[in-house]
Chain A
Amino acid sequence: MLTMPPADPMVLSRREEIIAALRQIVPGEGVITTEAERRAYESDGLTAYRQLPMIVVLPSTTEQVSQILRYCQTNNVKVVPRGAGTSLSGGALPLEDGVLLGLGKFNRILEIDLPNRCAVVQPGVTNLGITNAVQHVGFYYAPDPSSQIACSIGGNIAENSGGVHCLKYGLTTNNVLGIEMVLMNGEIVRLGGKAMDAPGYDLLGVMTGSEGLLGVVTEVTVRLLRKTPTARAILLGFPSSEQGGKCVADIIASGIIPGGMEMMDRPAIHAAEAFVHAGYPLDVEALLIVELDGCAPEVDHLIAVVERIAGENGAVTSRVSRNEAERELFWAGRKAAFPAVGRISPDYYCMDGTIPRRALPTVLARMRELSESYALGVANVFHAGDGNLHPLIMYDANKPGELERTEAFGADILRLCVEVGGVLTGEHGVGVEKRDLMDTMFNEIDLAQQQRLKCAFDPGGLLNPGKVFPQLHRCAELGRVHVHRGQMRFPDLPRF
């Protein structure tokens, strides 16, 4: 069971006073206190965990964010930042004694600068909102998490979100040029901008993917890309996941980085086909969608190469999209895979590990064994190009004990990912969900170093505590230097 940092009774007893102080900073409807209204914020996309926040505050200016954070730091009040609340790892799970800081009012696009191929936006703008603002001139913002219609760019920075095209076009971290952020002490800091790279330490790089533990983003400059003229997809079916996996490896080894390359296993194929009728073959163990993009001569050339490689790897289905509608149909099944599994199971739990691609057959085989021993079904969708695996565990939350069994199954899958040389999370973040598994990847020293970095940004540990790290340590304790003066501990070391 998940344990969060214990609520501070002192803070809880001062709730009215804190509300009054926040109302001084954010007038009117910006401070939400009634239980009914706070209920809307009790969980994010990981709905298995819920907690009513003490207070919700919705500022609309950087100055207000600065004042809120300064007040909370001075008064020892914890703060949980929240974008659109679509996190799949519980990154925005509120705290009983915490202020939930919502950035939904930061929803304006401030500048579109095409000569410099960038846009300056507020953090509450949705991911797709950026693309929508520039697509009429042929541009787009590259990272495309499947929640892109709802998720905010500020949340994308917190989670370093990816998407199906990130092998070729990068994650959030590769597509953000600058931010304005507020530290827990209220200081406003600008990192990067329209110029490439940063002077001094790359704090923008470390802010991206920091899950709301280091600062609150109040403005974002993103890179815009020109849309490629052509994209075509090829649908490939294989009698075994080994053959599908080998095909992926051979495509990459041949020098091709497809715009997208997705794999589904048999349960996922069947669920998706029953839902959207994309024309997927039902007699295969692995289905691969490979999308090639670029200019038309390049796409034609690469499609031919991929077809040949697929043939060499025993593909029993090979269909190239003949038009845009068919390309979209190929993708429709994959994009609807999650709701499709939702149709055949009362609930499902979406996991997110990354593995070296060569380990795919082993991982799928072990997962089948686990599925049997836990008596829970699992369907797999896989960002095949980058090794990011999304097993969907099917369960029924109304059956006693089934959620707990699902969590245990999920944890076993992630341990398996680490065991074969992979990682706990490819794009969904650690949050609360994988927090207690961090020690499968990192030892105490690794985690202490990460937490010391947190201390540089937030020495009081007030910003989003209880996320990412399994244990909280005081900064004073982490900062202690143990030295043994006067000891030459390496007498045998070569010196020159």
Chain B
Amino acid sequence: MAVFRPADARQVGEIIAWAAGEEQPLELLGGGSKRGIGRPMQVEHVLDLSALSGIGDYEPAELVLTAAAATPLAEIEAALAASRQVLSFEPTDWRALLGSEASAQTIGGVLSCNLAGPRRIRSGAARDHFLGFQGVNGRGEIYKSGGRVVKNVTGYDLCKLIAGAYGTLCVLTEISIKVLPKAETSRSLLVLGLDDAAAVRALAEALNSPHEVSGAAHLPAAVARRSAVAAVAGAGAAVTALRIEGPEPSTAYRVENLVNLLSGAGPTDILDEAGSEMLWREVRDAGFFVEPRERAVWRLSVTPSSGPAVAADLAARAEAESYFDWGGGLVWVAISDSPDAGAAAVRMAVATHGGGHALLLRAPESLRAAVDVFEPLAGPLAALSARVKESFDPRRVLNPGRMYAGI
């Protein structure tokens, strides 16, 4: 067992060339905050990338930031905040959920897992903001793709492939991302007391309105009760939440119009900026499911209008509790007392209601070794994915088996 801590891309290349030659697989490690996601790996060595840190070029008016891949997310967010900018895909912070509070998230980890929060529905995921990179493939070769400008179609868009590959294709050493202005103001409209189906219909009505909703979640009463936001926890009912962001005159106008649009659905309430920020952070980070720790936590991406049916199906099959983000398209599920972490029930529920995919985000290592953590792929797609892996990492030394056996 060795831990390698390279200082630059050249050293990363040397280590990987050695690993490929000796067929010694490596676990890629940035800050370690997401180490508990994915299948447990049978890996002897750790490639600790934490020394590849630091913001390079950042000129706010260009909307592009370049940084070494293991730069802490907090450092990047602080630099952006100083120029009133953000990563508009709203990177998640699952450290509390995964019990990795002591570690730092890195930008490379955020991109490699393609994480995105509630604003996904409006601004896209991490992949949509990933402009270019330098990295090292499984042969130990340093290469680059993409660019440092926001519009580029030169060559294949390898950024998309690397985003969400969980480090199985490439070790990122430097990345360029698109950054955007932070909205001047943010507010949330709450509708109280809706059941899941009525809530998702109300969310769709709001999302289909011209009012540019940037967050659309529904918390059943039992989930809402656990919120740290007083107005949500104290509602004594299910809470359906819509976020509106923009310049002050615009936000005020749109909130008022949305209240008119949805007032027939149920009683409404409005959260100010601070309450709104707190609520969307909880929704983003699955704060409601941190405790109890024994519960398995799933993240399901489905057709938005199918969300309630998927949740109802799961509640019938297992000891499951759900809440909804992305207008119903993202279903967070916590499952207790199931020998397979609810895997069979989850796969069945997703498949039955129009398809989609599910990630077992939190479960003990033994369970993550026993069941599919990522959505299993159909035959030709599995074979194609294996060939893609082969084209980047022929000796399978980069995070092998983290997503799927053999990849």
Contacts and interface: CB of A to CB of B under 8 A. Distances in A.
A388 interface: yes
B384 interface: yes
B63 interface: yes
B14 A493 contact: yes
Name A's interface SS. Answer: loop
B381 A189 contact: yes
Contacts of B254: 295
Interface of A: 114-117, 138, 159-160, 162, 166-167, 170-171, 173-174, 183, 187-191, 193-206, 208-210, 214, 226-229, 249-250, 252-257, 294-298, 300-302, 354-358, 383, 386-388, 421-430, 434, 438, 441-443, 445-447, 449-450, 452-457, 468, 479, 481-490, 493-496
Contacts of A434: 154
A295 B253 contact: yes
A386 B161 contact: no
B151 A386 contact: yes
Contact of B210 (A226, A250, A301, A422): A226
A200 B403 contact: yes
Name B's interface SS. Answer: mixed
Contacts of A429: 153
Interface in B156-194: 156-161, 163-165, 169, 180-182, 184
Interface string B237-258: 0000000001111101110010
A173 B160 contact: yes
Contacts of A457: 384, 387
B157 A206 contact: yes
Contacts of B155: 430, 438, 441-442, 446-447, 450, 468
Nearest to A227: B210
B160 A205 contact: yes
A174 B15 contact: no
A194 B153 contact: no
Contacts of B305: 115-116
Given A201-B169, A201-B385, A295-B254, 17 more contacts: A174-B128, A183-B384, A200-B375, A202-B160, A226-B207, A294-B212, A294-B246, A295-B257, A354-B150, A387-B149, A421-B149, A430-B154, A434-B154, A447-B155, A449-B137, A453-B158, A489-B18
Contacts of B374: 199-200
Given A196-B330, A483-B21, A117 B208 contact: yes
Given A201-B388, A295-B254, A173 B114 contact: no
B304 A116 contact: yes
B284 interface: no
B161 A202 contact: yes
A201 B388 CA distance: 9
Contact of B114 (A114, A195, A197): A197
B143 A449 contact: yes
Interface of B: 2-7, 11, 14-15, 17-18, 20-22, 48, 59-64, 83-84, 114, 116, 120-121, 124-125, 127-128, 137, 139, 141-145, 147-161, 163-165, 169, 180-182, 184, 204, 207-212, 246-250, 252-254, 257, 301-305, 326, 329-330, 354-357, 359, 374-375, 377-378, 380-381, 384-385, 387-388, 390-392, 394-395, 403-404
A301 B248 CA distance: 9
B241 to A, nearest CB: 18
Contacts of B247: 298, 301-302
A257 B181 contact: yes
A496 B61 CA distance: 42
Given A202-B114, A358-B59, A166 B151 contact: yes
Contacts of B209: 226
B144 A442 contact: yes
B381 A301 contact: no
Contact of B249 (A171, A173, A201, A298): A298
A456 B137 contact: no
A195 B302 contact: yes
Contact of A209 (B120, B157, B250, B329): B157
Considering the complex of A and B, which 6 residue pairs feature the smallest CB-CB distances, nearest first? A205-B160, A298-B250, A199-B375, A195-B356, A199-B357, A255-B181
Contact of B388 (A183, A294, A453): A453
20 contacts: A115-B305, A117-B207, A170-B128, A174-B124, A187-B384, A201-B164, A228-B210, A254-B181, A295-B212, A295-B257, A301-B248, A429-B153, A430-B153, A430-B155, A438-B154, A447-B155, A453-B158, A456-B384, A494-B7, A496-B5
Contact of A301 (B164, B250, B359): B250
Given A199-B374, A298-B246, A495-B3, A354 B151 contact: yes
A218 B252 CA distance: 44
A404 to B, nearest CB: 24
